[in-house]
Structure 1
Amino acid sequence: MIRCIAIDDEPLALDVLEDFISKVPFLKLFKTCQSAVEAIEVLHQENIQLIFLDIQMPQISGVQFLKSLDQRPKVIFTTAYSDYALEGFNLDAVDYLLKPFTFERFLKAVNKAYQQINMQLVPGEQPAAAVKDYMFVKSGYDIIKVQYDHIRYIEGLKDYVKIHTDEKIVVSLMSMKTLADDLPAHFIRVHRSFIVNFARITLVQKRKIFIQKVEIPIGEVYRDAFLEKLKQER
C-alpha cells in the first residue's frame, strides 16, 4: 500500500484526485491539502511515499515546496500549465499530469510510481512483491489485477483492448500503443490488432502464429521485428 497526499489550491481538483485515488487498490490517501504549508505538518507526522502536487499555488509554488524538502517522497505533478514540465522532471518527478487528465492517464502515472517505490526498501518494512509480475487494468467501474504470465494475447478493437488470459477476457478502454508501452519485453506486437505473449506461442507459420488453437496474423510492418526476436530466442 502506497501512502499518499494530494496538494492543490483548487477544491475541485482535489475532488478529482480523491476520486481517482479511491479507485486504485494500492493507494491510501492520508490527506488532501490546499497549500504546501498545510502539507508540511502531514509530512512530519506520517511516512508519506507519494505526493500529487500542483505547481501554481499561493505563498509557495509546488516546485519551490519540493526543493525545500530534505527528504523527498516520490512526486507526480498535476498542473494546468505545460511550461513547468522540464523543471518537474529535473526534480526527478515520477510523472507530469496536465489538467484535465483522464483516469487512464492517471493510472499510468501511478503504476510508474508503484514500480519506483517498490524498488526501494522502507526501513522496518519487507520488500514488496515484484511489480513486473502484474498490472492493474480499468475495466468498466472495476480495477482488475492481471498477471502478465496469465496473458495469452491482446486484441485491439478501435478504442478498446481485449486481454485474453487463461481465466477470462478483460475488456478495457485504452489504446494498443498505451498498453504496449507498459508491457514487459516478452510481449511483442505482431499486427496492428494483436500483441502476443511470446512465451505462449505454440506454432509459427509463414504469415501467422498460433497460441494453442487461436490463429493470429503477422502484419507486414511487424514481421521483421518478430522474426528477429524469434531468432534471438532459438
Structure 2
Amino acid sequence: MIRCLAVDDELLSLELLEDNIRRIPFLQLVGRCFNAYEALEIMRREPVDLIFLDIQMGGITGTQFLQSISTMPARPLVIFVTAYKNYALEGFDLDVLDYLVKPVAFERFLKAVNKAADYLTPAPVNSAPEYFFVNVEYNLVRIEVNAINFVEGLKDYIKIYLQGSDKAVITRLPMKSIAEKLPANRFVRIHKSYIISVDKITSIRKNRIYIHQHIIPISDSYRDDLFRIIDPQKLI
C-alpha cells in the first residue's frame, strides 16, 4: 500500500484528486491539505510515501515546499498536479516523479501512479509482476499475467485476451506500455499489432500462430524474435 498526501489550495481540485486516489486499490490517502503547512504537520506525525502537490498556492508555493523537504531522509516521491505547464522544467530539476497538467485525465493519472508503484516496489531482477491493473470504463480491472493469451493493438487501445474468457478486456494503452509489464522470457511481439504468450501457443503454421480458436499473423520482421524465445528443446 502506498501512503499518499494530496496538497492543493482549491477545494474542487482537491476533491477531484481525492476521488482519483480512492479509485486506485494500492493507494491509501493519509490526508488532504490546503497548504504546505498542513502537509508538513501530517508528515511529522506519520509516514508518507507519495505527495500529489499543486504549485501555485498561497503562502508557500509547491516548489518552495519541495525545496524545504529536499534534504529530509527518505523524502516522499512527488507528483506535481498543476494548471501551469511552464513549471515542468523546474519540477524535474527538483526531482519530481511526474508532472500532471490540470484537468488530468484518469488514464494519465493512473500512468503516473503506476510509475510511483514501480519505483517504490521494484520487481526483483529477472522478475515481473504477477498482475497489474488497467482502466476499463472508469473501473480498474485486475489482469493476471499468467492468464494472458495474447494482446492486440488497435490504434490508441489494446485488447487483452485472457484464458477462460470469451470477451477481451479493452483499455486505452499503447502497446509499448503493456509490453513493459510482461516478462520478456514468456511474451513476444510477433506483429506490430500482436504480443503473444509463448506458453499459450497451440500450433504454428507458416506465417500464422494458433492460440485456441484465434489465428494470429506473424510478420517477417518479428519471426526471428519468436523462434529465439521458443525453447529449442521443445522443438522435436
Shared fold per TM-score greater than 0.5: yes
Deviations along 1:139-182, whole A, 9 cap, x unmatched?
22421211212211112345543211123345233043364354
Residue matched to 1:153: 150
Residue matched to 1:56: 56
Deviant stretches of 4+, over 6 Å = none
Residue matched to 2:21: 21
Q: Percent identity?
A: 44
1:139–1:170 contact (8 Å) kept in structure 2: no
2:161–2:168 contact (8 Å) kept in structure 1: yes
Select between 6-15 and 203-212 the one with higher mean Cα deviation: 203-212
2:209–2:217 contact (8 Å) kept in structure 1: yes
1:203–1:209 contact (8 Å) kept in structure 2: yes
1:188–1:197 contact (8 Å) kept in structure 2: yes
Q: Give 1:190's aligned amino acid.
A: I
2:189–2:226 contact (8 Å) kept in structure 1: no
1:117 maps to 2:115: no
1:166 maps to 2:163: yes
Question: Hey, what's the Cα distance between the residues in 2 that align with 1:87 and 1:204?
Answer: 52
Question: Hey, what's the Cα distance between the residues in 2 that align with 1:114 and 1:39?
Answer: 21
Q: CA RMSD in A?
A: 2.6
Q: Give 1:176's aligned amino acid.
A: P
Q: TM-score, normalised by structure 2?
A: 0.82
Tell me how far 1:83 sits from its aligned partner: 2.4
Q: TM-score, normalised by structure 1?
A: 0.82
Structure 1, unaligned runs of 5 or more: 121-126
Q: Name which of 142, 153, 169 aligns with 2:139.
A: 142
Select between 40-49 and 62-71 the one with higher mean Cα deviation: 62-71
Structure 2, unaligned runs of 5 or more: none
- Bigger Cα Rg: 2
Residue matched to 1:180: 178
Question: Hey, what's the Cα distance between the residues in 2 that align with 1:92 and 1:201?
Answer: 44
Residue matched to 1:207: 207
Deviations along 1:13-49, whole A, 9 cap, x unmatched?
1111111111111111121111112100011111111
Provide closer, same or farther for how the CA distance between residues 44 and 226 of structure 1 changes in structure 2, counting only shifts above 3 A. farther
